[in-house]
Amino acid sequence: MTPPNVTTAEAAVPDETRDGAGGEARLLTHTYDGIREYDNPLPGWWTSIFIGTIVFSALYGLYFHVVDWGKTPDATYQVALGDYESKKELRDRAEAANVSEESLKRATEDPKLLAQGEAVFKGKCASCHQQDGSGLIGPNLTDHMQLHGETRMDIYKTIQKGVPGTAMLAWGEQLPQTDILAVAAFVTTLRGKDLPGKAPEGARVGKFE
Protein backbone atom coordinates (compact mmCIF):
# COMPACT_ATOMS: atom_id res chain seq x y z
CA MET A 1 0.00 0.00 0.00
CA THR A 2 1.28 3.44 -0.93
CA PRO A 3 1.84 5.59 2.24
CA PRO A 4 -0.41 8.65 2.64
CA ASN A 5 0.77 11.81 0.81
CA VAL A 6 3.23 9.78 -1.29
CA THR A 7 2.58 9.32 -4.98
CA THR A 8 2.94 5.98 -6.71
CA ALA A 9 5.94 7.34 -8.63
CA GLU A 10 7.65 8.52 -5.44
CA ALA A 11 7.05 5.21 -3.73
CA ALA A 12 8.72 3.40 -6.60
CA VAL A 13 12.00 5.25 -5.94
CA PRO A 14 14.29 3.51 -3.43
CA ASP A 15 14.76 5.34 -0.15
CA GLU A 16 18.49 5.80 -0.54
CA THR A 17 18.11 7.78 -3.81
CA ARG A 18 15.44 10.23 -2.71
CA ASP A 19 16.92 13.50 -1.45
CA GLY A 20 15.07 16.37 0.11
CA ALA A 21 14.97 19.71 -1.67
CA GLY A 22 17.94 22.01 -1.11
CA GLY A 23 20.17 19.27 0.29
CA GLU A 24 17.92 18.60 3.27
CA ALA A 25 17.71 15.21 4.95
CA ARG A 26 16.06 12.55 2.82
CA LEU A 27 12.47 11.71 3.56
CA LEU A 28 12.04 7.96 3.56
CA THR A 29 8.97 6.42 1.96
CA HIS A 30 8.12 3.82 4.57
CA THR A 31 5.75 4.60 7.41
CA TYR A 32 5.21 3.36 10.95
CA ASP A 33 1.72 3.99 12.30
CA GLY A 34 1.32 6.73 9.73
CA ILE A 35 4.61 8.39 10.70
CA ARG A 36 7.30 8.99 8.12
CA GLU A 37 10.95 9.59 9.05
CA TYR A 38 13.95 11.42 7.73
CA ASP A 39 17.25 9.72 6.98
CA ASN A 40 19.72 11.78 9.05
CA PRO A 41 23.26 10.59 8.37
CA LEU A 42 25.84 11.05 11.14
CA PRO A 43 28.03 14.16 10.77
CA GLY A 44 31.32 13.64 9.03
CA TRP A 45 33.33 14.64 12.10
CA TRP A 46 31.58 11.99 14.22
CA THR A 47 32.22 9.29 11.64
CA SER A 48 35.87 10.34 11.38
CA ILE A 49 36.36 10.12 15.14
CA PHE A 50 34.68 6.72 15.25
CA ILE A 51 36.93 5.36 12.50
CA GLY A 52 39.93 6.99 14.20
CA THR A 53 39.26 5.18 17.49
CA ILE A 54 39.14 1.85 15.66
CA VAL A 55 42.45 2.57 13.92
CA PHE A 56 44.00 3.77 17.19
CA SER A 57 42.91 0.66 19.11
CA ALA A 58 44.39 -1.56 16.42
CA LEU A 59 47.71 0.31 16.51
CA TYR A 60 47.69 0.31 20.33
CA GLY A 61 47.19 -3.45 20.47
CA LEU A 62 49.91 -3.97 17.88
CA TYR A 63 52.38 -1.67 19.65
CA PHE A 64 51.91 -2.94 23.21
CA HIS A 65 50.70 -6.52 22.87
CA VAL A 66 51.81 -7.96 19.52
CA VAL A 67 55.26 -6.66 18.61
CA ASP A 68 55.93 -5.63 22.24
CA TRP A 69 57.57 -2.32 21.36
CA GLY A 70 56.09 -0.41 24.29
CA LYS A 71 55.51 -1.15 27.97
CA THR A 72 52.06 -1.03 29.50
CA PRO A 73 51.57 0.80 32.82
CA ASP A 74 51.43 -2.57 34.57
CA ALA A 75 54.72 -3.68 33.01
CA THR A 76 56.36 -0.37 33.98
CA TYR A 77 55.10 -0.78 37.54
CA GLN A 78 56.44 -4.33 37.79
CA VAL A 79 59.90 -3.17 36.67
CA ALA A 80 59.88 -0.33 39.21
CA LEU A 81 58.68 -2.68 41.96
CA GLY A 82 61.43 -5.18 41.19
CA ASP A 83 64.02 -2.41 41.35
CA TYR A 84 62.60 -1.21 44.67
CA GLU A 85 62.69 -4.69 46.18
CA SER A 86 66.23 -5.34 44.97
CA LYS A 87 67.50 -2.19 46.68
CA LYS A 88 65.47 -2.56 49.87
CA GLU A 89 68.16 -4.50 51.72
CA LEU A 90 70.73 -1.82 50.85
CA ARG A 91 68.40 0.89 52.15
CA ASP A 92 67.77 -1.02 55.37
CA ARG A 93 71.50 -1.35 55.99
CA ALA A 94 72.08 2.34 55.32
CA GLU A 95 69.28 3.35 57.68
CA ALA A 96 70.42 0.94 60.41
CA ALA A 97 73.94 2.36 60.17
CA ASN A 98 72.56 5.73 61.29
CA VAL A 99 70.69 4.25 64.27
CA SER A 100 72.40 2.88 67.35
CA GLU A 101 71.79 2.23 71.01
CA GLU A 102 73.29 5.63 71.79
CA SER A 103 71.30 7.52 69.17
CA LEU A 104 68.08 5.98 70.47
CA LYS A 105 69.04 6.97 74.01
CA ARG A 106 69.73 10.56 72.88
CA ALA A 107 66.37 10.60 71.10
CA THR A 108 64.61 10.06 74.43
CA GLU A 109 66.04 13.40 75.55
CA ASP A 110 64.39 15.28 72.67
CA PRO A 111 60.87 16.36 73.72
CA LYS A 112 59.83 17.17 70.16
CA LEU A 113 60.93 13.76 68.88
CA LEU A 114 59.21 11.99 71.77
CA ALA A 115 55.98 13.89 71.07
CA GLN A 116 56.22 12.75 67.45
CA GLY A 117 56.80 9.17 68.57
CA GLU A 118 53.84 9.28 70.97
CA ALA A 119 51.56 10.58 68.19
CA VAL A 120 52.68 7.78 65.87
CA PHE A 121 52.27 5.20 68.62
CA LYS A 122 48.72 6.28 69.42
CA GLY A 123 47.81 6.40 65.75
CA LYS A 124 49.39 3.14 64.61
CA CYS A 125 50.22 0.96 67.62
CA ALA A 126 47.47 1.56 70.18
CA SER A 127 45.09 -0.92 68.57
CA CYS A 128 47.43 -3.73 69.67
CA HIS A 129 49.23 -2.19 72.66
CA GLN A 130 46.59 0.19 74.11
CA GLN A 131 47.01 3.99 74.25
CA ASP A 132 49.15 3.72 77.38
CA GLY A 133 51.19 0.72 76.17
CA SER A 134 49.68 -1.72 78.70
CA GLY A 135 49.07 -4.34 76.00
CA LEU A 136 46.11 -5.94 74.27
CA ILE A 137 46.93 -8.16 71.30
CA GLY A 138 50.55 -7.13 71.61
CA PRO A 139 52.59 -7.34 74.82
CA ASN A 140 52.54 -4.92 77.73
CA LEU A 141 55.32 -2.44 76.99
CA THR A 142 55.36 -0.91 80.47
CA ASP A 143 56.63 -3.88 82.51
CA HIS A 144 60.19 -5.15 82.83
CA MET A 145 59.81 -7.86 80.17
CA GLN A 146 60.80 -7.81 76.51
CA LEU A 147 59.40 -10.34 74.10
CA HIS A 148 61.87 -9.84 71.24
CA GLY A 149 65.43 -9.13 72.31
CA GLU A 150 66.47 -6.91 75.20
CA THR A 151 68.01 -3.69 73.85
CA ARG A 152 66.71 -0.45 72.38
CA MET A 153 67.99 -1.57 69.00
CA ASP A 154 65.96 -4.78 69.32
CA ILE A 155 62.84 -2.67 69.83
CA TYR A 156 63.78 -0.50 66.85
CA LYS A 157 64.31 -3.56 64.62
CA THR A 158 61.05 -5.13 65.78
CA ILE A 159 59.15 -1.98 64.82
CA GLN A 160 61.00 -1.61 61.53
CA LYS A 161 60.95 -5.21 60.31
CA GLY A 162 57.99 -6.66 62.21
CA VAL A 163 57.70 -10.22 63.48
CA PRO A 164 56.69 -12.83 60.87
CA GLY A 165 53.75 -14.98 61.88
CA THR A 166 52.41 -12.41 64.36
CA ALA A 167 50.26 -9.29 64.23
CA MET A 168 53.40 -7.14 64.42
CA LEU A 169 53.75 -5.45 61.06
CA ALA A 170 56.94 -4.29 59.38
CA TRP A 171 56.29 -0.59 59.85
CA GLY A 172 59.50 0.26 58.04
CA GLU A 173 57.65 -0.49 54.81
CA GLN A 174 54.89 1.98 55.63
CA LEU A 175 56.34 4.77 57.76
CA PRO A 176 59.23 7.16 57.11
CA GLN A 177 62.51 6.58 58.94
CA THR A 178 61.97 9.56 61.24
CA ASP A 179 58.69 8.07 62.49
CA ILE A 180 60.30 4.67 63.12
CA LEU A 181 63.09 6.29 65.14
CA ALA A 182 60.65 8.49 67.05
CA VAL A 183 58.23 5.71 68.00
CA ALA A 184 61.08 3.38 69.01
CA ALA A 185 62.47 6.07 71.31
CA PHE A 186 59.02 6.67 72.78
CA VAL A 187 58.43 2.96 73.44
CA THR A 188 61.69 2.74 75.41
CA THR A 189 60.37 5.43 77.78
CA LEU A 190 57.40 3.21 78.68
CA ARG A 191 59.64 0.56 80.25
CA GLY A 192 59.29 0.39 84.02
CA LYS A 193 55.97 2.20 84.38
CA ASP A 194 54.40 -1.12 85.35
CA LEU A 195 50.86 -0.25 84.31
CA PRO A 196 48.23 -2.92 84.91
CA GLY A 197 47.40 -4.70 81.70
CA LYS A 198 48.37 -7.76 79.76
CA ALA A 199 50.29 -10.47 81.62
CA PRO A 200 54.10 -10.33 81.28
CA GLU A 201 55.61 -11.96 78.20
CA GLY A 202 59.18 -12.63 77.18
CA ALA A 203 62.39 -12.34 79.16
CA ARG A 204 62.92 -10.08 82.14
CA VAL A 205 65.19 -7.11 81.39
CA GLY A 206 66.25 -4.04 83.31
CA LYS A 207 64.86 -0.58 82.94
CA PHE A 208 66.59 1.52 80.27
CA GLU A 209 68.97 4.02 81.81
CA 139 from centroid of its chain's CA atoms: 30
pTM of model > 0.75: no
Cα–Cα distance between 101 and 182 in angstroms, integer?
13
State whether 125 and 200 are in the same domain: yes
* Structural domain range at position 192: 96-204
Strands 26-32 and 145-146, by their bridges, are: unpaired
Decide: residue 186, CB within 10 A, 0-12 exposed, 13-18 middle, 19+ buried: buried
- Domain at 160, CATH number: 1.10.760.10
Residue 171 is assigned to a structural domain of this protein: yes
Number of structural domains (the chain) is 2
Tens digits of pLDDT across the chain (209 residues): 444 554 444 444 444 444 444 445 678 888 888 888 888 888 899 999 999 999 999 998 888 888 878 777 888 888 888 887 777 666 666 666 678 889 899 999 999 999 999 999 999 999 999 999 999 999 999 999 898 988 999 999 999 999 998 889 999 888 888 899 999 999 999 998 989 989 988 888 877 77
Residue 58 is assigned to a structural domain of this protein: no
